[in-house]
Amino acid sequence: MKEEEARAIINAGYGICPRCDGKLSIYIQRKFFTKVSSLYCPSCKAFWEDVFSLHKEMEQASIETLKRKGLSEPWPFEVPILLGKDEIAYLVLGGENIKVSFYEGRKYTYHSSSMGVSLRVTKGVWLHPRVGSGSVQSEDVLELMDTGKLVLTNKRLIFVGNKISISTELEKLISVETDADIGQDGFLYIAKQGKQRIEAYLIRMPNLIREFILLDHEKNVLQK
């Protein structure tokens, strides 16, 4: 990986070893006329030469720990909302270096007469360009609405953006899905009661965030 990639991971608060919880350092090795950077754990002597391998191991280890130990209060991050009575914040995502992008499902309508090339926008969402005029067609697409922070508490899932703020009670969640493999960035899809349009958040480690939400829902809604 490049040195700036390694430094960005540490500056974003992800410089923790997934094997021993030690603090990661940047290891630079010179090869001929180039420099090769890795993330290195001085405690357990582990190396990661690319971002994906670190994220994959980190997300998998975090999911296993979460399932074993359950939910707890978040890392010492600033909570960007006013909490209600008996409300506890479990997770805060987003900051100056890493933003959470909020998308919303929209209906795209157009006229068509002949089939063009199909373009995959995201999982389950396709855009089919047509040529000419004719019958009215419509497709579901995801439209970027805002960027900001995502907060999970024992009562709500809240998005706080530059223009939009959304608060969803856990009881109203219908489904939570992702479109990424372990270790990959991707979309977290939220479906909820009273709203036909799907909500999607482009975030780091969406499978881990999904696990947080499902455990939160089980602990604070299903077990009441």
Task: Read off the pLDDT of residues 192-217 as tens digits, 9 standing for 90 and up.
Answer: 999 888 899 999 899 999 999 999 99
Q: Which residue has the higher pLDDT, 125 or 10?
A: 10
CB within 8 Å of 60: residues ≥ 6 apart = 18, 182, 183
Residue from 190, 161, 158, 171 nearest 82 by CA: 158
> Is pLDDT of 7 > 60?
yes
To 5 degrees, how large is the angle CA 171–CA 176–CA 181? 155
Q: Average pLDDT for residues 42-65, to the nearest whole number?
A: 93
The secondary structure of 79-140, three-state, reads CCCCCCCCCCEEEEECCCCCCEEEEEEEEEEEEEEEECCCEEEECCEEECCEEEEEEEEEEE
Contact, 99 vs 148, CB < 8 A? yes
Under 8 Å between Cβ of 89 and 221: no
User: Where is pLDDT greater, at 33 or 59?
Assistant: 59
pTM over 0.85: no
Q: Which helix (H) or strand (E) holds 201?
A: strand 199-203
∠ at Cα 13 (9, 19), nearest 5°? Answer: 80
Can you list the domains of the chain with their CATH numbers? Answer: 3-69 (no CATH), 89-102+142-222 (2.30.29.30), 105-141 (no CATH)
φ, ψ of residue 116 in degrees (nearest 5): -110, -155
Which pLDDT score is estimated for 114?
Answer: 47
